[in-house]
Chains A and B, each alone.
Chain A
Amino acid sequence: MASRPEARDRPRSTETEHRPAAGGDGAADETALGGRDGAVALSLEGVSKTFGSGEDAVTAVEDVSFSVERGEVVGLLGPNGAGKTTTIKSALGLVVPDEGAVEICGVDVSTDPRTAYEHVEAMMEGARNQYWRLTVRENLEYFTAISGEDPATVRDRHDRLLAAFGLQEVADAQVRTLSRGMKQKSSIASTLARDVDVAFLDEPTLGLDVESADELRRQIRDIAAERDVAILLSSHDMDTVEEICDRVVIVDDGEIVVDDTVEALLGVFETQRYRLTVRGVEPSAVADLGVAVESVTELDGRVRFDVTADSDAVYRLMRELDGRDARLETVETAAPDLETAFRSVTGDDDRAVIDDDPPRTGDERAVTWDDSPGTGDERVTTGGDGA
């Protein structure tokens, strides 16, 4: 079981941090597409929401602050019940926060929602985010028109979207007749049919096969870059988040515990996880070694276990093993994926994090390990219960 890192070790950054605009000094620059590269498209500042009152009061989110720039894809992660949905709904004005402010393209959502909604669209219900009895193109046109744009004048944009998502052949087919993956793509296409600056995508790859999910990730990434759209993406699919997100915001118990780039987040954990294989020690004795031990496995007279610790602690552990006449055979350092980092940050081995993930084999979670002696990557699995 992954241990929860101390708060001081967590890459916590709830302050609003803005990257400088590409090629500029941080000021908003006009791009060829008419977008303002680097400009903040969505910002939440001190958003809090409590449902109920008295003893029944439940604080869903507390003092949530982060921002998303144009062209940036940010993953909003968190265990079930952590406050992701409330955060998204508050950002959209679908939930009225008790405190804090949300701005979309500089427009306050609570005081001027109609102007704010000129800039934003959301896919909240996956493939059901559209009318299945309309055709794909009719959905694009309908949701464009009810935002005030003339669908006839943006037909080129719709054609490009249909092409990007591989939907040209089925543009005139009713959505209900399409496969699960095609429905999902159609839903995202209809979400981006308007000329939006900010898009919310909730579980965009939910239920898709591996190939379709890969393709969809590329398309979302490309569209964010080409159209300079800020995308806030909520997903339990860590592959999706790791592959297409520039940044991740992790919410746990209603508070932001991480706001950082994917690379930085993974970097924090890269040097903290070790896998040791030892001969001459009983599995039951491993727990007394003085470090947090996970995934103890007995292998032909050897014991393999994982630890999350800094290097000093690992050296102390080695000395301890030496003192017990145990022979250390291998030490591997982990190259953790985002899911590993996520679980460590949220301490979320017990909660159902991957409920909605595409099916995996059994109840196992994949972790990639780098073998320190340089024998290349070894793909192993840890037990589903994290023990």
Chain B
Amino acid sequence: MSSTASGGYPRLLRAVVRREVVLFLRYPFEALGTIVVLGVLFAGIFLGGTALAGQAMADSIEGIVVGFFLWILAIGAYGDVAGDVAADASWGTLERHYLTPFGFGPVLLAKAAAKLLTHFVYAGVLLAIALVLTGTTLELDLVTILPVAVFTVASAFGIGVAFGGLTVLYKNVTSWMELVNFVLAGLIAAPLVGNDLLLALPLAQGSALLQRAMRDGVRLWEFEPASLAILVGTGVGYLLVGYLVFTLCQRRARRLGVLGDY
């Protein structure tokens, strides 16, 4: 008799995290390349902005650094989920993930969470580079930053999971994903003042809270309960909606017989 999923979700998560860590450490040049590319991108923004805007750039540099940090996390959470599904589908391992007693959805979430961990490493290293490059200091209270960042990127995660489902169904949705990349950057920079509707958008509320935490040193327990509730609500809400879209897409893919085809 075969086993059941006796190890539970922690074993599933441990397995996919271990794989992610092994590959991360086994291919350091690839990881270095990611850091260099994103570092150069930030340097270009900073140096170009300084040359063009001078003091205005200097006045807003803290916000830009925080936004850059969040953007790295967000594109990782969003892009890697769909990218991972596409890679598994084209590679031939997608069906095997579908055929686990955990179900496809939990496996996908675990893989996405594992990817997010590596993006925290990238984001941390790039944050340090950005701080050194700009000569800026920020409040780095992990007790505040980590939960706010996690619930913030949860909404990007949800969009990524939805795109994971669309990838299962339509295979190549790269153009749409690139478009969403720009939208995410806009949402991180969205001005919230005077527009409550924006609070319901993914990333927007989290971005605002993270700015306050890292620039002004506001601690987690010092945020208004309503602000935290919106943060948690949007993060969980988008994740659930994304998961629903994913579930519907993979059901349709099974009806059409295109699951795993690439």
Contacts and interface: CB of A to CB of B under 8 A. Distances in A.
B5 A147 contact: yes
Contact of B107 (A118, A133, A146, A197): A146
Contacts of A239: none
A147 B15 CA distance: 10
A94 B260 contact: yes
B95 A148 contact: no
Contact of B257 (A49, A126, A131, A195): A49
A264 interface: no
14 contacts: A86-B257, A89-B259, A95-B255, A117-B99, A118-B4, A119-B2, A129-B96, A138-B19, A138-B22, A142-B19, A145-B12, A146-B107, A149-B3, A194-B2
Contact of A147 (B92, B95, B101): B101
Interface in B85-137: 91-93, 95-103, 107
Interface in A122-157: 122, 124-126, 128-131, 133-134, 138, 141-143, 145-150
Contacts of A125: 91-93, 95
B254 A94 contact: yes
Contact residues on A (Cβ < 8 Å of other chain), bracket? 35 or more
Interface string B181-210: 000000000000000000000000000000
B15 A142 contact: yes
A272 B12 CA distance: 56
B92 A128 contact: yes
Contacts of A121: 96, 99
B15 A196 contact: no
A184 to B, nearest CB: 13
A51 B93 contact: no
B237 to A, nearest CB: 26
A115 interface: yes
B101 A124 contact: no
B51 interface: no
Nearest to A131: B93
Interface residues of B, number: 39
Given A117-B100, A119-B2, A195-B3, A124 B95 contact: yes
A24 to B, nearest CB: 19
Contacts of B1: 34, 195, 197
A96 B19 contact: no
Nearest to A147: B100
A193 to B, nearest CB: 11
B221 interface: no
Given A95-B257, A117-B101, A147-B5, A122 B95 contact: yes
Nearest to A93: B254
A148 B254 contact: no
A34 B3 CA distance: 13
B253 to A, nearest CB: 9
Interface in B71-86: none
B101 A150 contact: no
A114 B2 contact: no
B36 interface: no
Q: Which 9 A-B pairs have the closest CB atoms?
A: A125-B92, A148-B5, A145-B15, A128-B92, A195-B2, A95-B257, A149-B3, A118-B101, A96-B254
A171 interface: no
Interface string A183-211: 00000000000111100000000000000
A235 B18 CA distance: 34
B15 A146 contact: yes
A113 interface: yes
Nearest to B260: A94
A146 B102 contact: yes
Contacts of A146: 12, 15-16, 97, 100, 102, 107
A60 interface: yes
B259 A148 contact: no
A353 to B, nearest CB: 22
B90 to A, nearest CB: 9
B225 interface: no
A122 B15 contact: no
A134 B19 contact: yes
A124 B260 contact: yes
Contacts of A250: none
Nearest to B16: A146
Contacts of A148: 3-8, 11-12, 100-102
Interface in B137-154: none
B5 A145 contact: no
B103 A114 contact: yes
Interface in B7-34: 7-8, 11-12, 14-16, 18-19, 22-23, 26-27
